[in-house]
Structure 1
């Protein structure tokens, strides 16, 4: 399974990471590597109840757009 993640520097240091196609699936870490490790764990926990229901959530396509204000 492939999912897109968004990794952003946090204002307080470290990184925030989330999965646009999994609402509420968010994590953070002090380093990029730690943030990615943590979001993998968060994704696994997020998907546990879904696996039993076989909901085809992964078919939804998220689009990431960069805006300049």
Structure 2
């Protein structure tokens, strides 16, 4: 499965969350560290859902970007 992950810069480093997995979050001082942590968090989150007998959500979030020109 391939889940979309949102990475955000914070005053102390980076945070990440998975929109399709509420509560699946990570925070770290560097992008590399938070990327590793969120990958582990997703695996643990899915294992917990399975262990509780809950369904595993299908990935449904898509990510895109738009370019805009801001008048000066």
State the TM-score, normalizing by the size of structure 2.
0.73
Alignment of 1:1-69 (within 5 A): 1-10=1-10, 12-52=11-51, 53=53, 55-59=55-59, 61-64=60-63
- Asked whether the equivalents of residues 3 and 61 of structure 2 are also in contact (C-alpha less than 8 Å), the reply is no
- Count of aligned residue pairs for this structure pair: 66
Uncovered stretches (5+) of structure 2, i.e. residues with no partner = 66-72
Once the two structures are superposed, what CA deviation does each residue of 1:5-64 show, in whole Å capped at 9, x if it has no partner? 000001x220010000000101011111100000011111111133353724115x1255
CA distance in 1, matches of 2:24, 2:36: 13
TM-score (norm 1): 0.76
Superposition RMSD in Å? 2.2
Is contact 2:6-2:17 (8 Å) kept?
yes
Structure 1 segments unaligned to the other structure (5+ residues): none
